[in-house]
Amino acid sequence: GAVVSQHPSWVICKSGTSVKIECRSLDFQATTMFWYRQFPKQSLMLMATSNEGSKATYEQGVEKDKFLINHASLTLSTLTVTSAHPEDSSFYICSARAGDRGYEQYFGPGTRLTVT
Amino acid sequence: EDKVVQSPLSLVVHEGDTVTLNCSYEVTNFRSLLWYKQEKKAPTFLFMLTSSGIEKKSGRLSSILDKKELFSILNITATQTGDSAIYLCAGDSGGSNYKLTFGKGTLLTVNP
């Protein structure tokens, strides 16, 4: 149990376009979902936290108008990178927490974004 | 600002060696310290530590937390090439959102 999927697993897009990444909890209801970014040889940096049905809380330095997060249901959160630039190229990982399973976070497999 | 510092940043050992990875933390409203193993994709959970001095063990891996010194270690005995990975430690702060602050990780390479 506690499986989190992400789609797509990798994506290449052109500079200036927008990309949507989906994060789904497959066998539990995720009351909270987290989005992280990881640059090569760096750690996971929390970008934002989203609770179902409410606006995401963004970490300092993360542009909320650039990284749009929607957590419309208890099993799905999306991250949209708008007007992508090459410096947005990174590994994006989501995690999900189920309210009834304690506070452990379950991680998705990640999405590799390359902006050309 | 919450901070988690891991050392060493990288380590190269031979199969059969024992390694100790270090993690110090400064986390507001600290609740627990977590260790993850990351290979090519997302991190996989290893341990969650909430109490000082109680060792958690899983096979060749073990970990312990010192809440007084704000420190944790992860030990791996009889290392194998399959242990090669980045090991991440994260501090869990309290509050309604259960936020994790990750360290930079330790890249462990186990050579045959």
Q: For A43-93, what is each residue's pLDDT tens digit?
A: 889 999 988 888 899 999 999 999 999 988 889 999 999 999 999 999 999
Tokens (6 digits) for A20: 């949507």
User: Does residue A4 surpass a pLDDT of 70?
Assistant: yes
Distance between CA A56 and CA A60 in Å, rounded?
Answer: 13
What confidence score (pLDDT) does residue B11 get?
Answer: 96
Residue numbers in B near A71 (CB within 8 A): none
Q: How many angstroms separate the CA atoms of A54 and A62, rounded? A: 18
Of B31, B44, B99, the CB nearest to A46: B99
Alpha-carbon torsion angle B63, B84, A90, A60, nearest 10: 20
Enumerate residues 6+ apart whose C-beta is below 8 A from B57: none
The answer, yes or no, to whether residue B96 has pLDDT greater than 80, is no
**Taking a contact as any Cβ pair under 8 Å apart, which residues of chain B between 28 and 67 contact chain A?**
31, 36, 41-45, 48
The whole-angstrom separation of Cα A109 and Cα A23 is 10
B9 pLDDT above the threshold of 80: yes
* B97 → closest Cβ in A41, A44, A49: A49
Answer whether B97 touches A (CB < 8 Å).
yes
Contacts of B41 in chain A (CB under 8 A): 109-110
Chain-centre distance of CA A32, in angstroms? 12
Rounded distance between C-alpha atoms, residue A107 and residue A109, angstroms: 7
The reported pLDDT for the residue numbered A12 is 96
Report strand pairing: B106-111 vs B10-14. Answer: parallel
Mean pLDDT lowest for which of A95-99, A106-110, B6-10? A95-99
The partner residue sitting opposite B103, judged by closest CB among A41, A43, A49, is A43
Q: Is A93 in contact with B44 (Cβ distance < 8 A)?
A: no
Partners of residue B3 on adjacent β-strands:
B26
Inter-chain contacts counted by CB atoms under 8 A, chains A and B: 47
Answer whether the bond into residue B112 is a cis peptide, omega within 30°.
Answer: no
Question: Which of B42, B99, B100 faces A109 most closely, judged by CB atoms?
Answer: B42
Task: For residue B79, give the nearest of B22, B31, B8, B12 by alpha carbon.
Answer: B12
**pLDDT given for residue A53 in this prediction:** 80
DSSP string, A23-37: EEESSS-EEEEEEEE
Q: Helix, strand or coil for residue A48?
A: strand
